[in-house]
């Protein structure tokens, strides 16, 4: 599935300068990944203001060019992050956003493709799985370069909460959330481990041992985290901004990193015709390989149910 790797331009595009998009942009300026960042938004003044604000911090970081532009200015970009669309409101599920954001994406994605026909496109807008699938369908045979942020944030939340529970660095926790980025997602308990030790056998430095009821509670907190944050501050953006940065890092540095991102399925666990999250190798060409995990029968069934829910919602668009 890999494309031939061309010379990198060091150019990144961002479509949508709301809180998620600008959190990514802010993180990008500090990582020294790009030479140029183009900000595109239906609200041109907002994009210009964000560019000004970010540029005023350049003396503190590695030099790069940041400017507001339009879709034509995305030409030659290595990576385009799409974070445009309506926001999730308190009490609203990600799938409630479907109809309005699907319509927005059917306008945005052709413009991105027309401007830069070999960029890797990262979708951050919710419901991210369905919007990733719609975007990949529009992109056609080059759909391996369309990546949804998927459950990258859910997995990060899960690792953080497990690390807090066991008293270990979250980076030492190896556990995945797969499926929909939403209410039907599931934890891969059968493979979860800390430093190679399965959770059933692990005892933390704080004396915490195995208790599945407690672990199930951690998963419920993970799954409901966005709702709790939205209830308190109306939106989530810092952590997903860093998640998008991790995807950008994997693409721009051709790192072949494994991340739980969303991509169109081609028969994995009997699932096709929808985008959904599984651990996936990401590099310069975008999606390099979706990993075939040794899931338990219950996990496979849960994954299939999650995919079916997304397919039903996709079908509701007509």
Q: Supply the residues annotated as catalytic.
A: 181
pLDDT, tens only, 93-108:
766 778 889 999 999 9
pLDDT band with cut points at 50, 70 and 90 for residue 309: very high
Half-sphere CA count of 134, side-chain side, radius 13 A: 26
Domains, the chain, ordered by start: 11-148 (3.40.50.720), 152-315 (3.90.110.10)
pLDDT of amino acid 7: 62
Average pLDDT over residues 139-164: 94
Model confidence at 5: pLDDT above 70: no
Model confidence at 267: pLDDT above 60: yes
DSSP of the chain: -PPPP-----EEEEE--SHHHHHHHHHHHHHT--SEEEEE-SSHHHHHHHHHHHHTTGGGS---EEEE--GGGGTT-SEEEE--SPPPPTT--GGGGHHHHHHHHHHHHHHHHHH-TT-EEEE-SSSHHHHHHHHHHHHGGGGGGEEE-TTHHHHHHHHHHHHHHHTS-GGGEE--EEB-SSTT-EE-GGG-EETTEEGGG---TT-----HHHHHHHHHHHHHHHHHHHHHHS---HHHHHHHHHHHHHHHTT--EEEEEEEEEESGGG-EEEEEEEEEEEETTEEEEE------HHHHHHHHHHHHHHHHHHHTT-
| Percent of all residues in the chain with a pLDDT value above 90, rounded to a whole number | 86
pLDDT of amino acid 1: 42
pLDDT, tens only, 215-240:
999 999 999 999 999 999 989 999 99
pLDDT, tens only, 162-197:
999 999 999 999 999 999 999 999 999 999 999 999
Instruction: For the chain, give the mean pLDDT.
Output: 94
pLDDT, tens only, 238-262:
999 999 999 999 999 999 999 999 9
pLDDT, tens only, 20-54:
999 999 999 999 899 999 999 999 999 999 999 99
């Amino acid at each position: 599935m890999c494309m031939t790797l061309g010379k990198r331009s060091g150019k990144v595009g961002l479509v949508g300068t709301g809180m998620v998009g600008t959190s990514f942009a802010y993180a990008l300026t500090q990582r020294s990944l790009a030479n140029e960042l183009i900000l595109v938004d239906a609200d041109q003044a907002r994009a210009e203001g964000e560019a000004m604000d970010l540029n005023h911090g350049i003396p503190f970081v590695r030099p790069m060019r940041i400017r507001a532009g339009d879709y034509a200015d995305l030409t030659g970009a290595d990576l385009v992050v799409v974070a445009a669309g309506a926001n999730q409101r308190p009490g609203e599920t990600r799938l409630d956003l479907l109809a309005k954001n699907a319509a927005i994406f059917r306008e945005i994605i052709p413009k991105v493709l027309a401007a830069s026909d070999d960029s890797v496109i990262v979708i951050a807008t919710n419901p991210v799985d369905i919007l990733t699938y719609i975007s990949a369908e529009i992109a056609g045979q080059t759909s391996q370069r369309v990546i949804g942020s998927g459950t990258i944030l859910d997995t990060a939340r899960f690792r953080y909460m497990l690390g807090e529970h066991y008293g270990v660095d979250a980076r030492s926790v190896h556990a995945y959330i797969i499926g929909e980025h939403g209410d039907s997602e599931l934890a891969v308990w059968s493979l979860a481990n800390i430093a190679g030790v399965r959770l059933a056998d692990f005892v933390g430095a704080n004396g915490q041992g195995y208790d599945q009821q407690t672990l199930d509670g951690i998963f419920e907190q993970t799954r409901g985290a966005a709702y709790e944050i939205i209830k308190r501050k109306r939106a989530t953006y810092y952590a997903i901004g860093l998640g998008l940065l991790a995807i950008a890092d994997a693409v721009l540095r051709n790192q072949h990193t494994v991340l739980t991102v969303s991509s169109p399925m081609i028969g994995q666990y009997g699932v096709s015709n929808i985008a959904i999250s599984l651990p996936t190798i990401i590099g310069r060409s975008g999606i390099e390989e979706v990993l075939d995990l040794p899931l338990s029968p219950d996990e496979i069934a849960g994954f299939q149910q999650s995919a079916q829910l997304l397919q039903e919602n996709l079908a509701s668009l007509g």
